[in-house]
Amino acid sequence: MKILFISCGNADYDGRLRELLKVCNDLGDVSCYSYGSKELFPGHHLFGSDVSYIQFIKNVLKDAGKEDADVIFADNRRATIPAMLLNRRKKAILVQDCRELYDAAQFKELFNKIGCVAEKRCAKKADILICANTFRADYMEKHWGTKRPIVFENVRKLEYDENAMDKAAELIDPYLGDDEIRIVSTYGCSVDRTNDVLVRNINKIEGKVKVFLVGNSGKEDEDTIRRIVKEQNAGDKVVILRQMNQTELKYLISRSHIGVVNYNQKDLNNKYCASGKIYEFIYEGLPVITTTNPPLKKMCEDFGIGESDDEYYKGINKIIGSYDHYKENVGKFIETHDFEDN
């Protein structure tokens, strides 16, 4: 079976993209068209970050148009337009992954509105429709009028590149102190993700703690976080680091104690979040502190792997106070949720 896989995601950093590709590679012969710098397998066609969306579509139609296809896989909203155009020629089985959940009404920009319209149109045409959790499946079936999507959760593990271990240690080791509780957020200085609340309440966390804010951050957000750090006199408690590759991130998380999984609740996509980050932390053995979004809260309550707290500090203090208990629950979760089963 020949699968043409189309994604505007970046394979260097997009965990769901990599997991979907693993599944597709188990099913047939895959040609993937995505952004990134590192080819994952023969037949992975990469586009640099300087390639515009319009040029991406043109290149996919030109190159993928020459290939046979039994299946065309549209990975997320931006892939739906080239996927539908290709499928006019190929008449293949159309598979669509709706990894996000947006409605056109929430956007002001015409480009985003067009993307939402294209996504819904593709969803109505798709032979197989996929989403990332049951909350989203319920919503799409009820409000979009689609068939019920298959749920493919963002279950994933971080993996080491052994050749990059020394560089990871060189980057991270200088920040690690003795007898400290390390808390990791991989959303950088994002105020939208409420990391400003986390930092503002850092002095309410009991014991010796250090918060790592990892990821690309806008200047305004970073300035906000640095201002709060100064106000709280917390310079020794907060470390701001750039976006990390898998090896660097796994190295840091494996040497930390609590993972932060946080979303706002301003829109459907965030409210009914489908977090892969929570699994990255869990499969490294870390309990999590999350915001109170329904999927995150339910997971914490069902499995006891962490606490949901929009103010962060009460939940973190609770985890620290019974750390072995939460670690044990994380271990039980790992034992009963085999990564490969997903």
pLDDT above 90: residue 110: no
pLDDT of the residue at 152:
94
pLDDT of the residue at 130:
97
Can you tell me the distance from the alpha carbon of 29 to that of 89, in angstroms, rounded to the nearest whole number? 19
Q: Which helix (H) or strand (E) holds 5?
A: strand 2-10
Length of the chain: 342
Task: State the Cα angle at 113 between 107 and 4, rounded to 5°.
Answer: 125
Mean pLDDT of the chain: 94
Lowest mean pLDDT among 35-39, 127-131, 193-197, 317-321: 35-39
Cα–Cα distances in Å, from 52 out to 48, 79, 113, 235, 282? 9, 13, 18, 40, 36
Cα–Cα distances in Å, from 33 out to 64, 69, 147, 194, 257? 8, 13, 27, 34, 37
pLDDT above 90: residue 82: yes
- 2-10/29-35 β-pairing: parallel
pLDDT above 90: residue 51: yes
* pLDDT confidence tier of residue 64, bands split at 50, 70 and 90: very high
* pLDDT confidence tier of residue 129, bands split at 50, 70 and 90: very high
Q: Could you report the per-residue pLDDT of 258-310, keeping only the tens digit for each?
A: 999 999 999 999 999 988 899 999 999 999 999 999 999 999 999 999 999 99
pLDDT above 80: residue 333: yes
- 29-35/71-75 β-pairing: unpaired
Q: How many CB atoms lie within 10 A of CB 83?
A: 28
| 3-state DSSP assignment of residue 178 | coil
The count of C-alpha atoms lying within 13 angstroms of the C-alpha of 80, restricted to the half-sphere facing its C-beta, is: 23
The count of C-alpha atoms lying within 13 angstroms of the C-alpha of 214, restricted to the half-sphere facing its C-beta, is: 26
Report, as an integer, the average pLDDT of 197-219: 96
* pLDDT confidence tier of residue 149, bands split at 50, 70 and 90: very high
Contact 268, 181 (CB under 8 A): no
pLDDT above 90: residue 339: no
Report, as an integer, the average pLDDT of 36-54: 92
318: amino acid identity, one letter:
K
Give the max Cα distance, the chain. 63
Lowest mean pLDDT among 96-105, 206-215, 216-225: 96-105
Contact 250, 184 (CB under 8 A): no
Lowest mean pLDDT among 49-53, 160-164, 209-213, 268-272: 160-164
Contact 28, 15 (CB under 8 A): no
Residue 33, both tokens: 């068209």
144: amino acid identity, one letter:
W
Please give the torsion angle defined by the CA atoms of residues 191, 11, 174 and 242, in that order, rounded to the nearest 10 degrees: -30
% of the chain beyond a pLDDT of 90: 83
pLDDT of the residue at 196:
98
Can you tell me the distance from the alpha carbon of 20 to that of 201, in angstroms, rounded to the nearest whole number? 38
Contact 97, 20 (CB under 8 A): yes
